[in-house]
Amino acid sequence: MRVAAAVVLAALSASALAADPARASRPVTLVACAPGQPGTTAEAQPGMDALASAAARAAGWPAGALAAVYEPAERDGLVRLGRPDAAAALVPLPFVVKHGAALKLVPRLEVVTQGAREPGEVWTLVARRGRVASPAALSGFTLSSTAGYAPAFVRGALASWGRLPEDVRIVESSQVLSMLRKAAKGEPVAVLLDGAQTAALPSLPFASELEAVARSAKLPSGFVVTVGERLPAARWRALEKALLALPSSPDGASALRGLQMERLVPLEPAALQEIRRLRGGSR
């Protein structure tokens, strides 16, 4: 029955493309959105152009068939993803947790960040030394993070440590250094850091006033996703093959480095399980 169903679906897909042949070749856009991270659209555009050019060349697509844009703000990213040409996206895990269901984002590939050997990163909760011994101690605190726009992710990432109090105020802030300084001074502030931010923590002059009070499990850092059914299956297969092959060409490897990525790898089932688990972290 499954084989028969697959044949029927393939036939329907082929007939749909035959009815609309332009859909199989119209230009598409890959939208990158990483709320809370540094950088502007203008600053990122050369890197996005390089990625689109290298990927299109590897896929055998003509010039102009693939574009790529970066929207740093959550709202701007949502607006851009609402346009019909936005067929794929490069987004972090918190974005998928918050918006994946509503936008019909389908995770396809996982990001390996620059310098990493494998996908995934650990998030670390930091507070003033001796101030937070348990989740209950965060009552009345502000919990700041670049991922603060996705409270379900924040609560879910720390679930193994314990349930956060209901009155914890989870906020998004790109001012990581400022929030860490407030925590070091004894203000009721804790900061959830991603892997790169955690690695930089010991270099701060007031690092001795802070401590890591909880750590997440290793979580996916980001994904390439498709948006609904905007990209026909055959075109996705070509793009997927091209994206996986980027490190093997000089221009592809350079484009990845420009976006602080080592490579893209096939999605593991465990990554999808984490998305489902984290979506339940808001309670």
Supply the pLDDT for residue 25: 67
269, two tokens:
């089932």
Tokens 């793009």 found at? 239
**Greater pLDDT, 137 or 16:** 137
Calpha distance 263→111 (Å, rounded): 6
Check whether 66 has a pLDDT greater than 70: yes
pLDDT: which is higher, 4 or 120: 120
Q: Domain 124-215: give its CATH architecture.
A: 3-Layer(aba) Sandwich (3.40)
Question: Is 20 a residue whose pLDDT tops 60?
Answer: no
| CA-closest candidate to residue 70, choices 87, 103, 45, 104 | 45
Question: Looking at the chain, which residues constitute the CATH 3.40.190.10 domain(s)?
Answer: 26-118+220-279, 124-215
CA distance 27 to 29: 7
Two structure tokens written together for 60: 């055998």
CA distances from 231 to 50, 57, 163, 227 (A): 21, 18, 40, 8
CA 90, CA 70: separation in Å to the nearest integer? 9
Task: Please state whether beta strands 169-172 and 142-145 pair in parallel, antiparallel, or not at all (unpaired).
Answer: parallel
**Is residue 17 pLDDT above 80, yes or no?**
no
82-99 pLDDT, tens per residue?
Answer: 999 999 999 999 999 999
| Cβ neighbours for 26, distance < 8 A, ≥ 6 positions apart | 85
β-pairing verdict for 189-193 and 222-227? unpaired
Across 93-108, average pLDDT: 97
The CATH number given to 26-118+220-279 is 3.40.190.10
* Residue-wise pLDDT tens digits, 195-216: 999 999 999 999 999 999 999 9
Per the structure block, which two tokens stand in for 5?
A: 């169903």
How far is the C-alpha of 225 from the C-alpha of 107, rounded, in Å? 4
H or E element that contains 265 = strand 261-266
Angle at 100 between CA 99 and CA 102, to 5 degrees: 65
Two tokens, residue 164: 């956060």
> For residue 24, what pLDDT is reported?
56
- Percent of the chain residues topping a pLDDT of 90: 86
| Banded model confidence at residue 37, pLDDT cuts 50, 70, 90 | confident
Alpha helices in 62-150 (DSSP H): 74-81, 93-103
